[in-house]
Structure 1
Amino acid sequence: MQSHDPVYGSPAPAARDPLDQDLPIASEARTAAAIRGGALPRMPKPARRRVMVVANQKGGVGKTTTTVNLAAALAMHGLKVLVIDLDPQGNASTALGVPHHSGVMSTYELLVDGAGIKECVQEVEGLPGLSCVPATIDLAGAEIELVSLVARESRLLKAIESYTEDLDYVLIDCPPSLGLLTINALVASREVLIPIQCEYYALEGLGQLLRNVDMVKAHLNPELNVSTILLTMYDSRTRLAQQVAEEVRSHFGDIVLRTAVPRSVRISEAPSYGQTVMTYDPGSAGALTYLEAAREIAAAGAI
């Protein structure tokens, strides 16, 4: 028997199937199930190995979060990804669940002792295709030790170039500074990815980073370019976030990804479990937006 609208007496609309194709919750559920079941479609391979440094000298803008979640999203879609943790705090190593206590072969040995990546790399458990060179606390003193070394700015570049394993992406997580560690990352990379948080001071200090990029490009690495800007901590409910997003898009144009990463409790919780949000809660808004951001990045570098 057909139901009727209690007010107008006309036939009431049929109840919608909760798994209807056009419902956002259904799309999220299917994506989460695909992630957990390893059934995600492959993302396009880049024309050549893409080496990207994730940099911004401001702290708390989402550099590490962006690095590990983009890396996980790319690896889940069939690409081979290496994360190099250049931050002495080792947060990227923590989020990927790889050991980084004192005594572990790490980016310190890579830069200061001239060790190879093969000696330092660790596979990330549960994410085939994703590996990491961790950072230990020893890296805190590396800036001072690098000063006296020959070709101090290009030691990471040489390590990456000598690593002949099949890789699609190398993502380098930098400390919140513009010292020798970040300079090494800029010299070793072809692309700079800048996370910008949607806050009042979003663009403060960004000019200095861009000047450093230009300096490295002019003197040490002519292939270096700012290829990607990702808006993070976006809260669509606030006018401020919308204004910051509009300002960044008007200033930087097409290199700003369409996807903006929202503020998310799940994104913040995941590292405490030694996971990225991609595996911790694959159906969350944070995981889905990083998935979309990874798709945009992969499409831009497709063969």
Structure 2
Amino acid sequence: MIKKIAIYGKGGIGKSTTVANLSAVWGSDDLNCLVIGCDPKADTTRTLYGKRIPTVVNTLRDNRNPEKEDLVFQGFKNIQCVESGGPEPGVGCAGRGVIVAMKYLEQLGIFDDDLDVVVYDVLGDVVCGGFSVPLREKYADEVLIVTSGEYMALYAANNIVRGVKKLKGNLSGIVCNCRNVDNEEQIVNDFAEKIGTHVIGTIHRSNLIQDAELDAKTVVEKYPESAEAQEYRDLASSIMHNENVSTPEPMEDEEFEEFFHS
């Protein structure tokens, strides 16, 4: 059975880093993994492929009938990498690129391949029709939310929960991507409990992760023996063996303010 996961979170919270490193773990475990970046920045797969790859949107603009090899690029451990892409900033709907990309990939039969894991890196703007596509169109079976203990990250996470509930999605847990906030892990654990889920794993802040990214690599590839790589392995294992899936219950805005300032 294919594991199909949509990973959401506030912009800049570390979704792409999380997606790439998790995929590097699964690829290293000989799983056939497909990663689809659904962010207009198109940088999800950079550390898996070693550089930026052409996006589906840009490729379709130049070639109306691209083949699979024009859109899907083999990265680290044969991980299949795709970037949906989008319009230039201020020129159109960013989420539209996701819709166009997913429909064309489906047309090419990419999802019919012998896959073990499909991971979507998705912006937290679930009110946008494009960014809700993985859930709304059932490309993904479960959702993970990446957050830190910071106010805006948790506020965005609560809004994502609202979207997941509306779309009748399954929330598999919260990933705590630490930013060294006071009592951060406790705050994120309390938040998870409040919305009816759990923290599925914690990634501690480390310069080693950024160092690997500067070299266009995941920490799993560049520093496989590091404690940081082990944290991603532990997270990957927790996700694969997780049975704690729930329909989340978001907090109302006033309740969230009270929670955060308590």
Partner of 1:60: 12
Q: Structure 1 unaligned runs (5+)?
A: 1-47, 218-223
- CA distance in structure 2 between the aligned counterparts of 1:245 and 1:293, rounded to whole angstroms: 16
> What is the correspondence of 1:134-283 to structure 2 with a 5 Å cutoff?
134-136=83-85, 138=87, 143=93, 146=96, 156=102, 159-160=105-106, 162-163=109-110, 164-178=112-126, 179-187=128-136, 188-217=139-168, 224-233=169-178, 235=180, 239-252=182-195, 255-257=198-200, 259-283=201-225
Following TM superposition, by how much is the alpha carbon of 1:274 offset from its aligned partner in structure 2, in angstroms?
A: 1.1
8 Å CA contact 1:200, 1:240 repeated in 2: no
Following TM superposition, by how much is the alpha carbon of 1:198 offset from its aligned partner in structure 2, in angstroms?
A: 2.5
Partner of 2:56: 106
**Match for 2:40: what amino acid?**
P
- CA distance in structure 1 between the aligned counterparts of 2:197 and 2:223, rounded to whole angstroms: 30
Mapped pair 1:289 → 2:231: yes
Could you say if the C-alpha distance between residues 256 and 263 of structure 1 is closer, same or farther in structure 2, counting changes exceeding 3 Å?
A: same
Following TM superposition, by how much is the alpha carbon of 1:135 offset from its aligned partner in structure 2, in angstroms?
A: 4.7
8 Å CA contact 1:83, 1:132 repeated in 2: yes
**Match for 1:156: what amino acid?**
M
8 Å CA contact 2:46, 2:216 repeated in 1: yes
8 Å CA contact 1:75, 1:128 repeated in 2: yes
Q: Structure 2 unaligned runs (5+)?
A: 244-262
Choose 1 or 2 for highest CA Rg.
1
TM-align CA RMSD: 3.2
8 Å CA contact 2:42, 2:85 repeated in 1: yes
Following TM superposition, by how much is the alpha carbon of 1:176 offset from its aligned partner in structure 2, in angstroms?
A: 4.4
Could you say if the C-alpha distance between residues 255 and 154 of structure 1 is closer, same or farther in structure 2, counting changes exceeding 3 Å?
A: farther
Could you say if the C-alpha distance between residues 261 and 182 of structure 1 is closer, same or farther in structure 2, counting changes exceeding 3 Å?
A: same
Q: How many residues align?
A: 236
Higher mean alpha-carbon deviation, 111-120 vs 171-180, is at 111-120
Could you say if the C-alpha distance between residues 114 and 183 of structure 1 is closer, same or farther in structure 2, counting changes exceeding 3 Å?
A: farther
Could you say if the C-alpha distance between residues 254 and 129 of structure 1 is closer, same or farther in structure 2, counting changes exceeding 3 Å?
A: farther
Following TM superposition, by how much is the alpha carbon of 1:118 offset from its aligned partner in structure 2, in angstroms?
A: 5.4
**Match for 1:226: what amino acid?**
L
Following TM superposition, by how much is the alpha carbon of 1:160 offset from its aligned partner in structure 2, in angstroms?
A: 4.3
8 Å CA contact 2:39, 2:84 repeated in 1: yes
- CA distance in structure 1 between the aligned counterparts of 2:131 and 2:73, rounded to whole angstroms: 22
Given candidates 225, 233, 240, the residue that maps to 1:298 is 240
8 Å CA contact 1:117, 1:133 repeated in 2: no
3-state SS, counterpart of residue 181 of structure 1 = coil
**Match for 1:277: what amino acid?**
V
Given candidates 24, 33, 38, the residue that maps to 1:72 is 24
- CA distance in structure 1 between the aligned counterparts of 2:162 and 2:51, rounded to whole angstroms: 35
**Match for 2:156: what amino acid?**
G
**Match for 2:135: what amino acid?**
L
TM-score, normalised via structure 2 length: 0.76
8 Å CA contact 1:197, 1:233 repeated in 2: yes
TM-score, normalised via structure 1 length: 0.67
8 Å CA contact 1:154, 1:184 repeated in 2: no
Following TM superposition, by how much is the alpha carbon of 1:263 offset from its aligned partner in structure 2, in angstroms?
A: 0.5
**Match for 1:240: what amino acid?**
N
